Chain A
Amino acid sequence: MAAICSLYIINKSGGLIYYKDYGSGGRMDTNDSLRVASLWHSMHAISQQLSPTTGCYGIELLEADTFDLHCFQSLTGTKFFVVCEPGTQQMESLLKVIYELYTDYVLKNPFYEMEMPIRCELFDINLSQVVQKDRVVLLGR
């Protein structure tokens, strides 16, 4: 079982803008990945509504029987979440690194239109250096 199963990036209105499958349990077809993204977006919002105290920013970690889901939401509303083996470490720092790759190779690309699906070659190349096959290579960035 690969350490990392898949990575999703969602824009602030819940649209899936990036999905990468690391070849563990069968790739999700595009419709399903879109549905997963928008469902997660609403779950994330609902979880804030149910908070017993103020200042809740939504689900950060979901623990299921066969996987963990770590989610980072930027203050601008973009969500990055990764599905991995239960108990995998360093996912928070991985998501932070991916967030920085996003600010470099997506937001600084003049040919990227905000909130649209990400098709930036440099983002893929740099991401593949951080997540080789399914192992996380957290080199000091």
Chain B
Amino acid sequence: MAPPGPRSGDAIFASVERVNAELFTLTYGATVRQLLTDLEEVEEVNKQLDQMGYNIGIRLIDEFLAKSNVSRCIDFKETADVIAKVGFKMFLGINATVTNWDADGTCCNIILEDNPLADFVELPDTCQGLYYCNILSGVIRGALEMVSMKTEVTWLRDVLRGDDAYELQVKLLKQVPEEYPYKDDE
């Protein structure tokens, strides 16, 4: 029988074990605070958060693939779409919409309807320049890299910096095909 198509984000979110978002939010808050204490430089914290997100992304992608029954990740447009729609719902219980694709389908924006990372959070002025939710951009970059798509993920809008929504831009830099690893004198 044909392999079942990718499961919807809601279906997966309903079937997995869930926890109170506050535990997640407060733990993330503690993580950022630790980085601010250890690193002081806000720009360093942004980098470290992105790196931590990357470390999560390269692990989390396998769970995403296993639970979402996504069978192939060839086309960047399709992959980014399914990761945004299914991934954010499956892990964070939030809806994300993918908008304004560029002509050749290698760059898109993802708008988050909600953001559990940032509940109760208000940046004091000592933290200007901090991308509080930078772990998310790292997660997407790490996850996509594991399915051979090198990307650049940046924040377009951030509520904690005064914008009206959270919006990321995902740009495909290179699709790294798995080269045939054996020289021909095998």
Contacts and interface: CB of A to CB of B under 8 A. Distances in A.
A adjacent to B, CB under 8 Å: yes
Interface of A: 14, 42, 45-46, 48-49, 55, 74-78, 96, 99-100, 102-104, 107-108, 114
Nearest to B55: A114
B103 interface: no
| Residue from B58, B62, B65 whose CB has the most chain A CB atoms within 10 Å | B62
Interface in B79-116: none
B66 A99 contact: yes
Interface of B: 58-63, 65-67, 70, 72-73, 146-147, 178, 180-182, 186
A42 B186 contact: yes
Contacts of A100: 63, 66-67
A104 B178 CA distance: 26
A78 B178 CA distance: 13
A115 to B, nearest CB: 10
Contact of A75 (B59, B147, B182): B147
Contacts of A75: 65, 70, 72-73, 146-147
Contact of A107 (B59, B72, B73, B186): B59
B67 A46 contact: no
